[in-house]
């Protein structure tokens, strides 16, 4: 009986595209789900907009006992999830639920440490553990669903598809350090690194921080009279993936300035520096497309933020090109495959 393609053959992007057909049009287009008045109904008071985000983190796919203790697994799972709330325009978290799956021989000590790390990160951003479920299973995993609020009249949603030609492309911090940390933890071949550099890199990998502060700065730096329109997502899948994703969702091309890529200084001199900055992933910064005066005000106000390019009408070279010469920026040959 012909059963059609497997998930490994489809790949994650195509799988998500197909699953999106089961949801209302546009519902699968962002980092997380936006619940506005149409979904929450009149009891929502009209003003309330919620953001709901689900992430599944599977052992040996998203985390490994070789590179992380349980406390870091919990912290990182919560941080990655809350980063998606920030990427939608939330300034804090209401809370989250955890679906815990683990083999019966998992120790309580491991679970306790993971929840301690998770609630530590969560509490630092206004959220509480709301509930959850647990079950035995062959592999440890955490299925986390976080809920947040948009800040009402202080700021609207950040959507992937809201960029326009002429917008500046801005990112809120340096990139590549998390990937360097992973390389150190895995014992990949590297030139000698100062202990302090290794420590910073490992910390970036194990203890990412969701950029709610950047969303607050975004609201505070909006020029008077300028309507709320911000395109954005987080850089969890890599800086270049984020820029490409904004461009595709908005029907634009993102032009990145090669001299302006936000390379973490710790990567300077490494052969993989540019690759890790663009595609390393898991830096959990925000990548935004903004009207130029707003972009300039944000860069002025929020240290570490910089312009890395701009958006144009779609070019035949594709969604992501270098601004000098207009050459397409290719995806790395070995991109991350969850169903590999």
Residues 108-137 that bind its own copies (CB under 8 A): 108-112, 115-116, 118-119, 128-137
Shortest Å, Cβ 170 to its own copies: 25
- Which window, 3-11, 244-252, 263-271, 316-324, contacts its own copies (CB under 8 A)? 3-11
User: Of 4-33, which residues contact its own copies (CB under 8 A)?
Assistant: 4-8, 10, 12, 15-16, 18-19, 22-24, 27-28, 32-33
Nearest 5°: CA angle at 148, between 143 and 152? 165
Choose which of 36, 39, 185, 207 interacts with its own copies (CB under 8 A): 39
Nearest 5°: CA angle at 65, between 60 and 71? 115
Work out the number of other CB atoms within 10 angstroms of the CB of residue 212. 21
**Quick check: 67 binds its own copies (CB under 8 A)?**
no
Say which residue the tokens 């302006």 belong to. Answer: 260
Rounded distance between C-alpha atoms, residue 263 and residue 280, angstroms: 11
Toward its own copies, which CB reaches closer, 155 or 262?
155
**Quick check: 101 binds its own copies (CB under 8 A)?**
yes
Phi, psi angles (nearest 5°) of residue 180:
-65, -40
What is the sign of the dihedral through the CA atoms of 327, 333, 338 and 340? positive
DSSP string, 198-266: HHHHHHHHH-----HHHHHHHHHTPPTT-----EEEE-TT-HHHHHHHHHHHHT-EEEE-GGG--B-GG
Choose which of 107, 293, 301, 313 interacts with its own copies (CB under 8 A): 107
User: Of 185-224, which residues contact its own copies (CB under 8 A)?
Assistant: none
- The site string for its own copies over 145-184 (x = CB under 8 A, - otherwise) reads x-x-x--x--------------------------------
**Quick check: 41 binds its own copies (CB under 8 A)?**
yes
Choose which of 36, 69, 97, 193 interacts with its own copies (CB under 8 A): 97
- Which window, 65-73, 90-98, 240-248, 325-333, contacts its own copies (CB under 8 A)? 90-98
Toward its own copies, which CB reaches closer, 71 or 294?
71
Toward its own copies, which CB reaches closer, 14 or 300?
14
Cβ 322 vs Cβ 250: under 8 Å:
no
Rounded distance between C-alpha atoms, residue 251 and residue 254, angstroms: 10
Phi, psi angles (nearest 5°) of residue 59:
-60, 140
Choose which of 36, 99, 156, 314 interacts with its own copies (CB under 8 A): 99
Rounded distance between C-alpha atoms, residue 6 and residue 25, angstroms: 25
Residue 336: strand, helix, or coil? coil
Shortest Å, Cβ 294 to its own copies: 24
């Amino acid at each position: 009986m012909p059963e059609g393609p497997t998930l490994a053959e489809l790949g994650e992007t195509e799988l998500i595209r197909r699953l999106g057909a089961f949801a209302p049009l546009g519902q699968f287009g962002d980092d997380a789900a936006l619940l506005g008045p149409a979904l929450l109904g009149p009891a929502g008071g009209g003003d309330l907009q919620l953001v709901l985000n689900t992430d599944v983190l599977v052992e040996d796919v998203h985390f490994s006992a070789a590179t992380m203790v349980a406390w870091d697994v919990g912290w990182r799972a919560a941080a990655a999830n809350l980063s998606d709330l920030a990427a939608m325009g939330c300034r804090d978290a209401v809370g989250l639920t955890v679906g815990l799956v683990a083999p019966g021989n998992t120790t309580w000590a491991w679970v306790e440490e993971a929840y301690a790390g998770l609630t530590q990160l969560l509490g630092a951003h206004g959220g509480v553990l709301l509930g959850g479920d647990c079950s035995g299973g062959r592999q440890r995993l955490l299925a986390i669903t976080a809920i947040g609020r948009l800040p009402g009249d202080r700021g609207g949603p950040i959507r992937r598809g809201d960029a326009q030609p002429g917008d500046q492309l801005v990112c809120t911090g340096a990139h590549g350090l998390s990937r360097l940390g992973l390389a150190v933890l895995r014992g990949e071949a590297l030139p000698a690194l100062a202990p302090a550099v290794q420590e910073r890199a490992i910390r970036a990998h194990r203890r990412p921080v969701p950029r709610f502060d950047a969303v607050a700065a975004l609201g505070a730096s909006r020029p008077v009279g300028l309507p709320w329109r911000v395109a954005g997502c987080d850089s969890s899948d890599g800086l270049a993936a984020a820029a490409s994703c904004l461009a595709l969702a908005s029907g634009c091309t993102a032009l990145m300035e090669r001299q302006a890529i936000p390379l973490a200084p710790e990567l300077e001199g490494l052969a993989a520096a540019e690759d890790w900055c663009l595609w390393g992933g898991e830096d959990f910064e925000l990548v935004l497309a903004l009207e130029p005066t707003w972009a300039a005000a944000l860069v002025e106000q929020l240290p570490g933020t910089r312009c890395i390019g701009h958006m144009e009408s779609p070019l035949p070279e594709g969604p992501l090109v270098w601004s000098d010469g207009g050459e397409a920026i290719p995806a790395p040959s070995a991109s991350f495959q969850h169903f590999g």
